[in-house]
Amino acid sequence: MSSNPQLSKAHYTSHPAFPARCIHHSSFGFRHSSLMPFKADHALSLLTRARDNGRLGHAYLITGPKEAKHEEFAARVLDLMVGTQFRTLEAWEGQGAIVLRPQSKSRRITIGDDGDDPGTIRFLEKMIRRTAAPNGWKLGIIVDAERMNVQAQNAFLKTLEEPPPNTLLLLLTTQPEQLLPTIQSRVIEIGLMPPAGARSFTDHEYKLLVVLEKLAARAAGTLSGALGLKADFEAILEELHEDLKKRHEADFERETEHYGKTTDGTWLKQREDQVEAQIEAEYIQQRSAMMDLLLSWFGDVARQQAGAENLDLPKFQAATAALADKWDSGEVAKRIRILRQLESHLHTNVNEGLALEVSFIQAFA
């Protein structure tokens, strides 16, 4: 634990709804990000209060969509903690901060051969004990932390659990679910909201929005429309899954070429199992993002019925307005409840296709 009186390790409690994540002690100002993401300025004000009360943690997990500009926020956190002004992580690197980013074609952060292997966890472990930023701080930042492989994450736990005095560690990621539970339970998570109007979509998400827009114009509230949407949704999920498989399998092939001659078959089999697990974990996460999009769509319908001005999906305002006129508020609330139930069921071992069919008929017919 850090000897700095302003730094202390956080107190954590488990949360039954998020078994692989944590809720943070209220004295640190933050709770689980999926429940309460913050705008950057508000998050910094909470950190300022924690600093003034001597309740800073030594490790923070900065999450949220890419539009939330994690690196810019991380630089502002360093400014706040250290008391100097360097507005980019690149500038902080010049001041002694150790910044790791995904390396090589595979875009992985690896454990490394030794402490002289730049861009690796071994390098971070060595350098954070030998170098110091202004005012004696030891700063480690991992950008795209989800790109650490399992070996790197396990190695990083040592630094996370036994940091040198005056250490601050920041992990930046859009996919916190890819981090080991043992890492997630040892950090204070700060979920960031993107600036207003900055939301963007993946290709798969945009395809779903276009399908929803067409449904609103032609067949919303019909059985044929609901079944058609279910078929389109499944096709998008299948395409998403195939894209993930191609990317991860290409990474695995490159690793096999590099390590295949220097490791035994046991390692390759274990790594193959890890790749399969990563594919499924990312698929579940991105499927959840698609479900969030469906809920945002219906949320905008409800917001327009209530006369609210700020919409999640302003570019699709005309389509959600048409549904707001078509259905009454009680019907919209019922459809939202059905989608929330579906979202919950998909986190169990339920048959995906059957769950989608039943829920889409109830929510969209």
Query: pLDDT confidence of 3, banded at 50, 70, 90?
Result: very low
- Residue 351's pLDDT is 94
- Residue 14's pLDDT is 31
- Helix, strand and coil content of the chain, in percent to the nearest 5, comes to 55, 10, 35
Q: Is residue 4 part of a domain?
A: no
One domain for residues 339 and 266: yes
One domain for residues 158 and 279: no
Query: pLDDT confidence of 34, banded at 50, 70, 90?
Result: very low
pTM for this one?
A: 0.58
One domain for residues 251 and 109: no
Query: pLDDT confidence of 262, banded at 50, 70, 90?
Result: low
Better-predicted residue by pLDDT, 46 or 104? 46
- Please tell me which of 9-23, 65-79, 93-107, 299-313 the model is most confident about, judged by mean pLDDT: 65-79
Q: Is residue 3 part of a domain?
A: no
Q: Is the pLDDT of residue 1 over 70?
A: no
One domain for residues 185 and 241: no
One domain for residues 122 and 164: yes
Q: Is residue 275 part of a domain?
A: yes
- Residue 9's pLDDT is 43
Last residue in a domain, options 138, 163, 191: 191
Q: Is residue 53 part of a domain?
A: yes
- Residue 288's pLDDT is 84
Q: Is residue 1 part of a domain?
A: no
**Domain span at residue 39?**
12-191
Given a contact cutoff of 8 angstroms between Cβ atoms, the answer to whether 171 and 138 are in contact is no
Cα of 223 vs its chain's centroid, Å: 35
One domain for residues 141 and 224: no
Given a contact cutoff of 8 angstroms between Cβ atoms, the answer to whether 39 and 67 are in contact is no
What mean pLDDT is predicted for residues 241-248? 91
Domain tally for the chain? Answer: 2
Distances (CA, A) of 324 to 251, 332, 361: 46, 8, 19
Q: Which residue has tokens 């890492």? A: 183
Dump pLDDT digits (tens) for 175-200: 787 899 999 999 999 988 777 655 77
Q: Is residue 161 part of a domain?
A: yes
Angle of CA points 311, 33, 137, to nearest 5°:
125
Q: Which helix or strand (DSSP H or E) is residue 206 part of?
A: helix 203-218
Last residue in a domain, options 158, 191, 224: 191
One domain for residues 245 and 357: yes
Q: Is the pLDDT of residue 29 over 50?
A: no
One domain for residues 18 and 113: yes
Distances (CA, A) of 349 to 142, 284, 355, 357: 33, 12, 10, 16
Q: Is residue 198 part of a domain?
A: no
What CATH number did the domain enclosing 149 receive?
3.40.50.300
Query: pLDDT confidence of 261, banded at 50, 70, 90?
Result: low
Q: Is the pLDDT of residue 6 over 50?
A: no
Ranges assigned E (strand) in 233-348: none
Last residue in a domain, options 142, 157, 191: 191
One domain for residues 166 and 230: no
Dump pLDDT digits (tens) for 38-55: 889 989 999 999 989 988
Say which residues have a Cβ less than 8 Å from residue 184's Cβ, sequence separation at least 6.
20, 21, 22, 61, 176
One domain for residues 301 and 251: yes
How much of the chain exceeds pLDDT 70, in percent?
86
- Residue 198's pLDDT is 59
One domain for residues 98 and 171: yes
Q: Residue 143, SS3?
A: coil
One domain for residues 293 and 151: no
**SS3 letters across 37-70:** CECHHHHHHHHHHHHHCCCECCEEEEECCHHHCH
Q: Is the pLDDT of residue 328 over 90?
A: yes
Count the neighbouring beta carbons within 10 Å of the beta carbon of residue 8.
17
- Residue 258's pLDDT is 65
Q: Is the pLDDT of residue 138 over 60?
A: yes
Q: Is residue 183 part of a domain?
A: yes
What strand order describes the sheet that includes 188-191? Answer: 98-100, 138-142, 167-172, 59-63, 188-191
- Residue 137's pLDDT is 92
- Please tell me which of 103-107, 129-133, 182-186, 293-297 the model is most confident about, judged by mean pLDDT: 182-186
